[in-house]
Amino acid sequence: MASPQVTSALQAIEAAAVSEKPAQYSALLQQITASSQNLTADLSTYARTLLDDLLGVVVLRPLLASFVEQFRQVESADVKIDVGVEVVELLQSKGVGQYEEQDTNIKEILADSYEAQEDYRKSAQVLGTINLETTQKTLTADDKASVWIRIVRCYLEEDDPTSAFFHLNKVKNIIYGVQDKQTRLQFQLSQARINDSQRNFLDAAQAYYTMSLETLVQEDERLQGLSAAIVCAVLAPAGPLRSRMLAKLYKDDRAITTEDFPILEKMFLDRLLSPAEVKAFAQKLQPHQLARTADGSTVLDQAVLQHNLVGVSKLYNNIGFDQLGELLGIDAEKAEDYAAKMLEQGRLGGYIDQIDRLIFFEGQASGERKKGHAERVVGKELRKWDANVQGLAEEVERVTTMIQNQYPDFYASQMVH
Question: Is 321 within the bounds of a domain?
Answer: no
DSSP string, 194-229: HHHHTT-HHHHHHHHHHHHT-TTS-HHHHHHHHHHH
Q: What's the pLDDT at 364? A: 62
For residue 359, the SS3 value is strand
**Number of domains present in the structure of the chain:** 2
Q: What share of the chain is helix, strand, coil (3-state, %, to 5)?
A: 70, 5, 25
Q: Which of 88, 117, 146 is the last residue of a domain?
A: 117
DSSP bridge partners of 361: 350
Q: What's the pLDDT at 380? A: 57
Instruction: Name the DSSP class of 105.
Output: H
- Quick: pLDDT tens for 208-265: 999 899 888 888 999 999 999 999 999 988 778 888 999 999 999 999 999 999 999 9
Phi/psi of residue 240, each to 5°? -60, -40
Question: Is 215 within the bounds of a domain?
Answer: no
Q: What's the pLDDT at 373? A: 47
Question: Is 260 within the bounds of a domain?
Answer: no
Confidence of residue 16 (pLDDT cuts 50, 70, 90): confident
Q: What's the pLDDT at 122? A: 95
* Alpha-carbon span 59 to 280, nearest angstrom: 66
- For 199, 330, 371, the CA distances from 337, given in Å and listed in that order, are 22, 11, 17
> In which order are the strands placed within the sheet that holds 350-353?
318-320, 358-361, 350-353
Question: Is 410 within the bounds of a domain?
Answer: yes
Q: Can you tell me the mean pLDDT for 380-407? A: 78
- Quick: pLDDT tens for 46-66: 899 888 887 888 888 899 999
CA 30 to chain centre: 46
Helices (H), 53-140: 57-72, 77-94, 100-116, 120-127
Q: Which of 68, 94, 117 is the last residue of a domain?
A: 117
- Quick: pLDDT tens for 100-136: 888 999 999 999 999 999 999 999 999 999 988 866 6
Question: Is 227 within the bounds of a domain?
Answer: no
For residue 392, the SS3 value is helix
Question: Is 80 within the bounds of a domain?
Answer: yes
Angle of helix 219-235 versus helix 240-250 axis, rounded to 10: 150
Question: Is 127 within the bounds of a domain?
Answer: no
- Quick: pLDDT tens for 275-327: 888 888 888 888 888 878 777 778 888 888 888 887 788 877 888 888 887 77
Question: Is 28 within the bounds of a domain?
Answer: yes
Confidence of residue 367 (pLDDT cuts 50, 70, 90): very low
* Mean pLDDT for the chain overall: 85
Q: Are 47 and 83 in contact (CB under 8 A)?
A: yes
Instruction: Identify the domain containing residue 32 by its residue range.
Output: 1-117
pTM of the model: 0.70
b/e 260-269 (16+ beta carbons within 10 angstroms → b): bbebbebbbe
* Alpha-carbon span 326 to 316, nearest angstrom: 14
Instruction: Name the DSSP class of 292.
Output: B
Q: Which of 97, 117, 137 is the last residue of a domain?
A: 117
